[in-house]
Amino acid sequence: MQRIVILGSTGSIGVQALEVIAANPGRFEVVAISAGSGNLALLHEQAERFRVKAVGTTADSFDCSVKTFTGAAASREIAAMECDVVINGITGSIGLAPTLAALDAGNLVALANKESLVAGGELVMRKGRGRIIPVDSEHSAIYQAMLAGRRDEISKLILTASGGAFRDREDLAGVTVDEALNHPTWSMGPVVTINSATLVNKGLEIIEAHYLFDIPYSQIDAVIHPQSVIHSMVEYIDGSTIAQLSPPNMKGPIAYAMSHPHRTQGATRPVDWSQAHRWDFRPIDTERFPAISLARTAGESGALATATFNAANEVAVDAYVKGVIAFTEIVPVIESVLATGDAHGEPRDLADVVAIEQTARTLAAEIVATFQRERS
């Protein structure tokens, strides 16, 4: 039986992980869960249903019958508990410290928190190489496809992108928040959905792939695949391309990460081969969606620059959701922060990451205010 800890249990990844666990009685044990303060009723319900040994929340207090950790360090405490797998489903760079805590405790990490690698890739991989199983559908696909050959036989990684809400829209001026949140394929949280609309999410995933698989940025591509059935591909030196595919559903990669190196019966439905299918691919228009090129440039500058990229984006997305800036100003905010700051090289420790993120957030807030003044 696999002993599982889930960070971000009330979010999309956490809820689906618990659904997989509930559907496979006797195979998994939920040791502990943690979540933010946004849905404490659901957190309490999960704790009771799965009879966990401990619960963590960022709330100052939480009434529960089991051992409880509260406050900013709660997820770090939960991540360090003895278990077989820690699923990190936290959104945002606040997920980095729990990832490091889990690795320091010797736990295997099923990583859905891409910001852990974007903000602290060198730190995480220094501690965790060989002990991280990706949960993002794209990176899970690459992880599985890489089993087809040796590392030195890989010529290219190809990430697929749905293209987000505006893949077929030429004029992005005046895009409303509701429009940006209307993803054509996936049901995700608001930040990830807006990142998908700007394609910042794909830029973050390119950075994540670089660290996870130790592949140069020059060998990582991304293409638009609207159907989101082929989750990503690995091209080999002999010209063969190996792809992993399944209908768009996160339960497959979640179950694979929890069960690794085994598979879980019926984790997700397979492709229905009795029906005709059409799968399209097209290159990304980097002029309409400059986030991809910007993320690649940041990646070439090192993890301090990618941490800056991510922190600036979080500020810009928040400003957009609040109506302070336009959709088309999100990426320019990131670009301005990268151009203004001096973030190059790799962090020495978590404190370096925290410091560079704070600098980036301050700069981003100033730039957002400038954009607002110029528009008014």
**Tokens read off for 26:** 């006797």
CA distances from 74 to 7, 89, 123, 241, 250 (A): 10, 14, 21, 43, 26
Task: Judge whether 291 lies within some domain.
Answer: no
How high is the pLDDT of residue 182? 78
Please tell me the distance from the alpha carbon of residue 318 to that of residue 333, in angstroms, as a whole number: 12
Residue 117 and residue 200 in one domain? no
Using only C-alpha atoms, the chain has a radius of gyration, in whole angstroms, of 20
Calculate helix-pair angle for 330-340, 350-375, nearest 10 degrees: 120
CATH code (residue 105): 3.40.50.720
Residue 62 and residue 127 in one domain? yes
Q: How many residues does the chain have?
A: 376
Q: Which amino acid is at 173?
A: A
CATH code (residue 357): 1.10.1740.10
Task: Judge whether 125 lies within some domain.
Answer: yes
How high is the pLDDT of residue 172? 77
Residue 87 and residue 151 in one domain? no
Task: Judge whether 329 lies within some domain.
Answer: yes
- HSE-up of residue 137 (Cα within 13 Å, Cβ side): 24
Please tell me the distance from the alpha carbon of residue 42 to that of residue 30, in angstroms, as a whole number: 15
Four-residue CA torsion sign, 100, 103, 107, 111: positive
Say which residues have a Cβ less than 8 Å from residue 135's Cβ, sequence separation at least 6.
13, 87, 89, 110, 111, 112, 250, 253, 254, 257
Contact 117, 295 (CB under 8 A): no
Contact 191, 91 (CB under 8 A): yes
Task: Judge whether 341 lies within some domain.
Answer: yes
Q: Which amino acid is at 251?
A: K
Contact 81, 54 (CB under 8 A): yes
Does pTM surpass 0.85? yes
Task: Judge whether 264 lies within some domain.
Answer: no
Residue 165 and residue 41 in one domain? no
φ/ψ of 126, rounded to 5, equals: -60, -40
pLDDT tens series, the chain, 376 aa:
899 999 999 999 999 999 999 999 999 999 999 999 989 999 999 999 999 999 999 999 898 889 999 999 999 999 999 999 999 999 888 999 999 999 999 999 999 998 899 999 989 999 988 899 999 999 999 999 999 999 999 999 999 998 877 777 777 788 888 888 876 666 667 788 899 889 999 999 999 999 999 999 999 999 999 999 999 999 999 999 999 999 988 999 999 999 999 999 989 999 999 999 999 999 999 888 899 999 999 999 988 999 999 999 999 999 999 999 999 999 999 999 999 877 777 888 899 999 999 999 999 999 999 987 777 6
Residue 354 and residue 282 in one domain? no
Which residue, 134, 165, 196, sits at the end of a domain?
134
Q: Compute how many other C-beta atoms are within 10 angstroms of the C-beta atom of residue 159.
A: 23
Residue 153 and residue 235 in one domain? yes
In terms of residue numbers, what domain contains 243?
144-248+272-286
Residue 126 and residue 40 in one domain? yes
Beta strands in the chain (DSSP E): 2-7, 28-35, 54-57, 67-70, 85-88, 108-111, 132-134, 154-161, 220-224, 230-236, 241-245, 282-283
Q: Compute how many other C-beta atoms are within 10 angstroms of the C-beta atom of residue 169.
A: 13
Residue 320 and residue 282 in one domain? no
Contact 40, 272 (CB under 8 A): no
How high is the pLDDT of residue 180? 82
Residue 120 and residue 164 in one domain? no
Task: Judge whether 258 lies within some domain.
Answer: no
Please tell me the distance from the alpha carbon of residue 120 to that of residue 363, in angstroms, as a whole number: 20
Which residue, 76, 110, 134, sits at the end of a domain?
134
Please tell me the distance from the alpha carbon of residue 124 to that of residue 132, in angstroms, as a whole number: 9
Residue 150 and residue 277 in one domain? yes
Task: Judge whether 84 lies within some domain.
Answer: yes
Which string of DSSP letters, residue by residue, matches 316-350? HHHHHHTTSS-GGGHHHHHHHHHHHS---S--SSH
Residue 123, SS3? Answer: helix
How high is the pLDDT of residue 200? 94
Residue 149 and residue 78 in one domain? no
Task: Judge whether 139 lies within some domain.
Answer: no
Residue 127 and residue 19 in one domain? yes
Which residue, 257, 286, 315, sits at the end of a domain?
286
CA distances from 89 to 99, 113, 116, 318 (A): 10, 6, 11, 20
CA angle at 47 for the pair 41 and 51, rounded to the nearest 5°: 155
Contact 141, 243 (CB under 8 A): yes
Number of domains making up the chain:
3
Characterize 228-263 residue by residue with b for buried, 16 or more Cβ atoms within 10 angstroms of its Cβ, and e for exposed: bbbbbbbbbeeeeebbbbbeeebbbbbbbbbbbeee
